Amino acid sequence: MSSQSRSASTFLVVDDDSIFHFLMIKMLTRLGVLPEGIRTASTGREALERVVEAQLTGKPQPDYILLDLNMPIMGGFAFLEACKKLPEKLPDRVKMIIISSSLDKRDVNRAAELGASHYLVKPVTEADLEFILNVPV
């Protein structure tokens, strides 16, 4: 991916840990993503509200949703399930990437069944993010 297209990429980082938000923003910006293209949410419910708001207002959805599985209020699996039930399907270009500390194959398989394109295990590295950014759409 060229640095120009990378800089235009948008992200929604969904995790209940503000330090994780900080680290993702730092790594993504080092990889050429513009800071204004990165938004955060602390729960799956907050992320779902942003997705629905974008649908209602005609704003574009993020290109990538980096999603933790274990969060209070609404976790990653519940978010993925809720996205499938939305009246307007998310565009195919939106990449759902699970980021979890779980190595359980059942979690990996369930994430794939619910539409996640990738499953990364914490701690996430810049190389992991570089790989995701370079996967063809």
Pairing of strands 38-41, 11-14: parallel
Structural domains of the chain in order of their starting residue, each with its CATH number: 3-134 (3.40.50.2300)
Closest C-alpha to 131, from 15, 6, 7: 6
What angle, 0 to 180 degrees and rounded to 10, lies between the N-to-C axes of helices 44-57 and 76-84?
30
- Rounded Cα–Cα distance for residues 65 and 34 (Å): 16
Each of the 137 residues of the chain gets a pLDDT tens digit; together they read: 555 567 789 999 999 999 999 999 999 999 999 999 999 999 999 999 999 999 999 999 999 999 999 999 999 999 999 999 998 889 888 999 999 999 999 999 999 999 999 999 999 999 999 999 988 75
- Rounded Cα–Cα distance for residues 124 and 44 (Å): 19
Closest C-alpha to 71, from 63, 80, 60, 83: 80
Neighbouring CB atoms inside 10 A of 34's CB total 13
Predicted confidence at residue 2, as pLDDT, reads: 53
Residue 58's identity, in one-letter code, is G
